[in-house]
Amino acid sequence: MSETLFSKIIERQIPADIVYEDDDCLCFKDVNPKAPVHYLLIPKKPIERLVDAKSEDQTLLGHMLMKASEIVSDAGFGDAFRLVINNGPGAGQSVFHLHIHILAGRTMGWPPG
């Protein structure tokens, strides 16, 4: 997998407003927020898209879901938040390092655009 903006954030080659980090994942504020709370949670392992995850990544993906819930709850929005994964350009993915958008702090419309 080629280097992406997000691998550079993991390596601290470009700055980001980091809100959480552990051995397996990193969470930082989206540079172009679509809600008062808009974080990106990424695995440190370079997985391009959700569809590229392997069965060996099951624990990592479960860990990330649990962490997303914990992070947004710690931010005070545990009762109303949305998680989004854009998989592929047709779904709006622009950075090819798997990421979970964590959105909160405003009313969420449905269906999403």
Q: Candidates 25-33, 49-57, 73-81, 105-113 — which segment interacts with ligand DGP by CB under 6 A?
A: 25-33
Among 94, 107, 110, 111, binds ligand DGP (CB under 6 A): 94
Which are the catalytic amino acids?
Answer: 99
Name the residue nearer to ligand DGP (CB basis): 21 or 59. Answer: 21
87 near ligand DGP, judged by CB under 6 A: no
86 near ligand DGP, judged by CB under 6 A: yes
Q: Are 12 and 3 in contact (CB under 8 A)?
A: no
- Strand ranges inside the chain, DSSP E: 18-21, 25-29, 37-43, 81-84, 100-104
92 sits in the region (left: phi over 0; alpha: psi -120 to 50; else beta) called left
Instruction: Output the CA torsion 52→99→8→23 (10° steps).
Output: -90
Task: List the interface residues with ligand DGP, window 28-67 (CB under 6 A).
Answer: 28-32, 40
Residues that bind ligand DGP (CB under 6 A): 5, 14, 16, 28-32, 40, 86, 92-95
